[in-house]
Chain A
Amino acid sequence: MNTAQPLIEVQNLGMRYLTGRQALQGASFAVHPGELAVILGANGSGKSTMMRIIAGMAKPTDGYVKLAGQDITTMDGRQLRQARMALGMVFQHANLIKRRSVIANVVCGTLGRHRNVFTAFGGLPADEFGHGMRCLEQVGLTKFAYQRASTLSGGQAQRASIARALAQRPRALLADEPVASLDPEAAEEVMRLLRRLAKEDGMAVLAVLHQPDLARRYGDRLLGLRKGIIAFADTPANVSNGEIDSLYEGFNPA
């Protein structure tokens, strides 16, 4: 068991919507530095609710989320934004600004720490371009730095969006279905990259995946979510195919 402080810590998380629906109940887990954890679950299992709470976009009705030791569920506004900077986000779509160069897109990731009049009116912090290039190097896209983002393929764009998240200098990454819109080859590439960021750079990576096969091969730990409850949380070797299949069986979205 990892003894270092977890970067993402979820404790007894519960969420009951005003409609009375219990979307999440008693969910607890932690992601440590150097670890890639994967959340699996059918639509409506509470994955999105969980992601939104971890990202600080929603408040739970029970429990707490700690990012790098700081409880974000009690924070608001500026304080929340500061604490959230420890967490980089990767989405299903790359969400790059297509008309700007790849490097400009990456440097955009540093805007949070450069809040001034110049950057508020479209300027990019010049002293971050070196850092931006290093982030591009990590995802293997340095030679595309000065191309328009629209010229990248789907997989390259997703890697560029990871570089943008890295430019933020996060200690943990939250990836919400990062390969859902990629072809199998590009998906492997992105998963390899996420794994390397965990192993070589000591980041904590939490990814939601819909492909049990990718989850098995790249995840250190699989978290199965069923009807808002964590059904299993173990290494891929200790989770049977039947257990994974049970997440998707006989499920009627509410």
Chain B
Amino acid sequence: MNSETSAVIGLDASGTKPVMTRFRFLLRIGILVLLALLLAQAIYVVQARPQDIITGVSGMKDLISRAMPPDFADVPNELWPALETIDIAIFGTFFAVILALPLAVLAAHNTTPAKPVYYIVRMLIAVFRSVPDLVWALLFVTAVGLGPFAGALAITINSMGMLGRLLAEVIEDMDMGPMDALASTGAGRLQVFSHAVVPSVLPSLMGITLYQLDANIRSSVVLGFVGAGGIGFQLLTAMNLFQYPDVALLIIMMFAIVIGAERMSAALRKRVA
């Protein structure tokens, strides 16, 4: 074997040990240069000015001093919006599961009735989940008006896409044996679905749903910013009216809700696993 061919395939003269060839070395340098360029353009485009962080510290200090102490006397007024935030997520998650189940069955290649249906539903699911819930909320605020219902619908549509995709994957990974066995005893399509498919996917379904509920509570906090109700809307209003002690309280409440939801979801998921 001559030295030229060995350089191409990256072996030394004996043909056993891989060595760093000149080509590979240049390739590595090239990749590093590309990464550096990528980062440089990002720094330029976001108009990063490190000095602003330093001068911004005093502004933040001022903001925090004006927000302290948080206005705990306002808690009773904020309980209802807080409940709204949680209920937007509960409503959205519940109806998303109901709607995602049939979608997932159509979008799993082992249960779909026909290939065209599979592709159409896959595309629908992709649209539901790739459009962010904040954008869905904007659309629904226009359609059904300001308030929590718009937020609940936005969460429903977006998590329907999320759950539909995850559930379709669970169904695709399922053991087909029990389905075939039940079909062989003369059971009908719906019977096979409810007696073989549902029991085998139920634990994953519950786990995924609880995880989605947690994610939905986090999104529903933010949805208020576009007028879709809940605690986020209160935060937006307080900010606009410069009521910083109120803002501080609302941030603390958001923190409590999000952490609480996360903890509860994790604890329940452990139980169903």
B27 contacts which chain A residues (CB < 8 A)? none
Q: For the complex, is A91 an interface residue (Cβ under 8 Å from B)?
A: yes
Q: For the complex, is B182 an interface residue (Cβ under 8 Å from A)?
A: yes
Which listed residue (B178, B186, B202, B203) contacts A84, Cβ 8 A? B186
Docked-complex contact A120 and B194, CB < 8 angstroms = yes
A100 contacts which chain B residues (CB < 8 A)? 199
- Give a binary string over A143-180; 1 marks a CB under 8 Å from any B CB, 0 the rest: 00000000000000000010011011000000000000
Docked-complex contact A95 and B177, CB < 8 angstroms = yes
Which listed residue (B175, B181, B198, B199) contacts A161, Cβ 8 A? B181
A161 contacts which chain B residues (CB < 8 A)? 181
Q: How far is it, in angstroms, between the C-alpha of A70 and the C-alpha of B177 when the chains are bound?
A: 27
A120 contacts which chain B residues (CB < 8 A)? 188, 190-191, 194
Main secondary structure, interface of B, reads helix
Chain A residue nearest to B180 (CB atoms) is A95
- Give a binary string over B201-214; 1 marks a CB under 8 Å from any A CB, 0 the rest: 01100000000000
B177 contacts which chain A residues (CB < 8 A)? 91, 93, 95
B203 contacts which chain A residues (CB < 8 A)? 99
- Give a binary string over A39-62; 1 marks a CB under 8 Å from any B CB, 0 the rest: 000000000000000010000000
Stretch at the interface among A1-9, A105-113, A189-197, A221-229: A105-113
Q: How far is it, in angstroms, between the C-alpha of A69 and the C-alpha of B222 when the chains are bound?
A: 69
- Give a binary string over A16-60; 1 marks a CB under 8 Å from any B CB, 0 the rest: 000000000000000000000000000000000000000100000
Docked-complex contact A168 and B198, CB < 8 angstroms = no
Q: For the complex, is B77 an interface residue (Cβ under 8 Å from A)?
A: no
Docked-complex contact B196 and A97, CB < 8 angstroms = yes
Which listed residue (B178, B186, B195, B200) contacts A168, Cβ 8 A? B186
Docked-complex contact B186 and A112, CB < 8 angstroms = yes
Which listed residue (A85, A97, A112, A119) contacts B178, Cβ 8 A? A97
Q: For the complex, is B41 an interface residue (Cβ under 8 Å from A)?
A: no
Q: Residues of A within 8 Å of B, CB-based: how many?
A: 32
A89-B184, A111-B186 given as contacts; is B199 within 8 A of A99 (CB)?
yes
User: In this complex, which of B181, B199, B200, B203 has the most chain A Cβ atoms within 10 angstroms of its Cβ?
Assistant: B181
Q: For the complex, is A217 an interface residue (Cβ under 8 Å from B)?
A: no
Q: For the complex, is B185 an interface residue (Cβ under 8 Å from A)?
A: yes
Docked-complex contact A108 and B188, CB < 8 angstroms = no
Q: How far is it, in angstroms, between the C-alpha of A112 and the C-alpha of B195 when the chains are bound?
A: 12
Q: For the complex, is A88 an interface residue (Cβ under 8 Å from B)?
A: yes
Which residues of B (152-193) have their CB < 8 Å from a CB of A?
Answer: 175, 177-178, 180-182, 184-188, 190-191
Q: How far is it, in angstroms, between the C-alpha of A81 and the C-alpha of B193 when the chains are bound?
A: 17
B184 contacts which chain A residues (CB < 8 A)? 55, 84, 89
- Give a binary string over A117-135; 1 marks a CB under 8 Å from any B CB, 0 the rest: 0011110100000000000
Chain B residue nearest to A111 (CB atoms) is B187
Docked-complex contact B180 and A97, CB < 8 angstroms = no
A115 contacts which chain B residues (CB < 8 A)? 188, 191
Q: How far is it, in angstroms, between the C-alpha of A177 and the C-alpha of B180 when the chains are bound?
A: 16
Interface set of A (CB-CB < 8 Å, partner B): 55, 81-82, 84-85, 88-89, 91, 93, 95-100, 108-113, 115, 119-122, 124, 161, 164-165, 167-168
Q: Which 7 A-B pairs have the closest CB atoms?
A: A112-B186, A95-B177, A95-B181, A111-B187, A122-B194, A120-B190, A89-B184
15 additional A-B pairs beyond A112-B186, A113-B186, A164-B185, beta carbons within 8 Å, are A81-B186, A89-B184, A93-B177, A95-B177, A99-B202, A100-B199, A108-B185, A111-B185, A111-B187, A112-B185, A112-B188, A119-B194, A120-B194, A167-B185, A168-B186
9 example contacts (A-B, Cβ-Cβ < 8 A) are as follows A84-B184, A85-B186, A88-B185, A99-B200, A108-B195, A112-B188, A120-B190, A161-B181, A164-B185
